[in-house]
Amino acid sequence: MSTHLENQIDHFLSQVMQFAENKHEILLGKCQSDVKLTSTQEHLLMLLSEEPTTNARMAETLSVSPAAITKALKKLQDMALIFPTKSKTDDRVVLWNLTEKALPIAQEHAAHHAATLDSYHQLIQKYTTDEQEVIKDFLNRLAEKFK
């Protein structure tokens, strides 16, 4: 029995794909920073606000290629938002650090993440606990189809 729900799911996933094209993540609303960066570049700044780290660690964390990270870091360095330092324990290891100029951008990106999660929370609260369990089950089963 077709309820056309499958068409609605297909349409929704197509919208998500279109929205997320060339993006590392999905955040609701608009970025509040005046600095023109990609969401990946903003996410890198947010990661670096937590601690200095290596190119390889960032690539692993974001599940993107080291080459993509290198390209993003080059632009961030050209904009004076990050700078490299050598590891105190191994001179061969380069750690990337935020500049003071980058901190507000990193904080705004973290706030954007929090606002997105809050939007999801507000939306899910419109459903009963039982309905939330059905939604959770559906999402888990749908995610399994992508594996």
> What are 119-134's pLDDT values in tens digits?
999 999 999 999 999 9
* CA–CA gap between residue 40 and residue 71 (Å, rounded): 11
> What are 42-61's pLDDT values in tens digits?
899 999 999 999 999 999 99
Q: Does domain 34-145 bear CATH number 1.10.260.40?
A: no
Q: Decide if 132 contacts 106 (C-beta within 8 A).
A: no
The domains of the chain are located at 34-145
> For residue 83, with 0-12 CB atoms within 10 Å meaning exposed, 13-18 middle and 19 or more buried, which class applies?
middle
Residue type, 127: Y
* CA–CA gap between residue 21 and residue 15 (Å, rounded): 10
* CA–CA gap between residue 96 and residue 84 (Å, rounded): 5
